């Protein structure tokens, strides 16, 4: 049996669309359509979301299954969406609904497990392609090994990180739904291919953004190391690195919208 079960389903028309969903939402609200920023940081870390909203003045937008916060310092052009969960399905839903409301660019940021032992703690990983080992993206586009970020936003990331003197590494990531089924054989295979990280959202974000005609990219902080013999969690050492990542993401999107 193929996956998805109905062949070529990515070519078909959807019954429920994000446009219909947000239209229904707005019809039920006295406030009308929300005022959204041009670009949004997708944030999967509760700690990072708390830091960004505490450290920067802004306003909340109460229209979503997560918390959208728009920064004042960028004249309302940049915001952060967080507290909506983790994984490809919820990230895809956020991209769909925010794009339907007018958001034009998404920068997905968060933790990632590392498959290469020469990557240092504190280095940012900028994803240049993501292996589509999650289920969501295959409902949006013909199956292929990789999904890719949009080139202008990817280039903006590398330029801004260089200007900030931030250490970073560019390479592929493995996106999977099954955090507790990252097997020894897979880790060994992808490490041998030169894949840098494993996470749960990037390939879906890239694919849905391409489907909607908006920009998307992703970058990560290394939180743990996956070897074939052992797992080394380092989450407790990442707080400062994650905050730097969030600050850099907001600046990158602000530069893009100028």
Query: What's this model's pTM, rounded to 2 decimal places?
Result: 0.96
* pLDDT tens digits for range 222-250: 999 988 778 889 888 899 999 999 999 99
Q: CA–CA separation, 22 vs 193, rounded Å?
A: 42
User: Does residue 162 lie in a domain region?
Assistant: yes
Three-class DSSP category at 3: coil
pLDDT score for 257: 74
Identify the DSSP state of 32: -
pLDDT of residue 250: 96
The answer to whether residue 139 is domain-embedded is: yes
Residue 150 is assigned to a structural domain of this protein: yes
Residue 135 to residue 252: CA distance in whole angstroms: 29
* 214 found inside a domain: yes
d(CA 178, CA 199): 10
Sign of CA dihedral 51, 57, 58, 62: positive
* CATH number of the domain enclosing 129: 3.40.50.1580
Count CB atoms within 10 A of the CB of residue 50.
Answer: 13
| Cβ neighbourhood burial of 122 (10 Å; 0-12, 13-18, 19+) | middle
14: CB partners within 8 A, 6+ apart:
none
pLDDT of residue 254 exceeding 80, the answer is yes
The answer to whether residue 10 is domain-embedded is no
Q: Which two tokens stand for residue 66?
A: 């997560």
Give the separation between CA 23 and CA 26, rounded to whole angstroms.
Answer: 5
Angle between helices 18-27 and 88-101 (to 10 degrees): 70
143 in any annotated domain? yes
Q: Could you give the CA distance from residue 79 to residue 234 in angstroms, rounded to a whole number?
A: 28
Digit-coded pLDDT (tens) for 16-66: 999 999 999 988 888 778 999 999 999 999 999 999 999 999 999 988 999
User: Structural domain tally of the chain?
Assistant: 1
Instruction: State the pLDDT confidence band at 1, using cuts at 50, 70 and 90.
Output: low
Structural domain span for residue 129: 33-257
- Is 103 in contact with 37 (CB distance < 8 Å)? yes
Arithmetic mean of pLDDT over the chain? 94
pLDDT for residue 176 is more than 90:
yes
Evaluate the CA torsion angle 103, 257, 124, 228 in order and state its sign: positive
């Amino acid at each position: 049996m193929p996956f998805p079960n109905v062949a070529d389903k990515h070519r078909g028309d959807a019954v429920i669309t994000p446009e219909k969903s947000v239209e229904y939402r707005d019809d039920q609200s006295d406030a009308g359509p929300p005022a959204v920023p041009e670009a949004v940081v997708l944030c999967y870390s509760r700690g990072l979301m708390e830091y960004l909203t505490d450290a920067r003045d802004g306003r909340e937008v109460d229209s979503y299954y997560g918390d959208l916060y728009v920064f004042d310092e960028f004249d309302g052009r940049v915001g952060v969406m967080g507290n909506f969960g983790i994984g490809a399905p919820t990230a895809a839903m956020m991209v769909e609904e925010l794009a339907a409301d007018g958001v034009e660019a998404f920068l997905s940021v968060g933790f990632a497990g590392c498959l290469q032992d020469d990557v240092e703690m504190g280095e940012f990983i900028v994803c240049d392609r993501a292996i589509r080992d999650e289920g969501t993206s295959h409902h949006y586009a013909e199956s292929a090994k990789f999904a890719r970020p949009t080139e202008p936003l990817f280039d903006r990331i590398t330029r801004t990180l260089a200007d900030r003197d931030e250490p970073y590494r560019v390479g592929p990531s493995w996106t999977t739904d099954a955090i507790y089924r990252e097997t020894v054989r897979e880790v060994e295979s992808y490490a041998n291919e030169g894949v840098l990280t494993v996470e749960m959202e990037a390939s879906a974000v890239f694919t849905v953004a391409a489907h909607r005609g908006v920009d998307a990219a992703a970058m990560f902080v290394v939180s743990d190391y996956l070897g074939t013999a052992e797992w080394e969690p380092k989450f407790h050492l990442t707080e400062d690195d994650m905050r730097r990542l969030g600050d850099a993401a907001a600046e990158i999107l602000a530069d893009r919208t100028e």
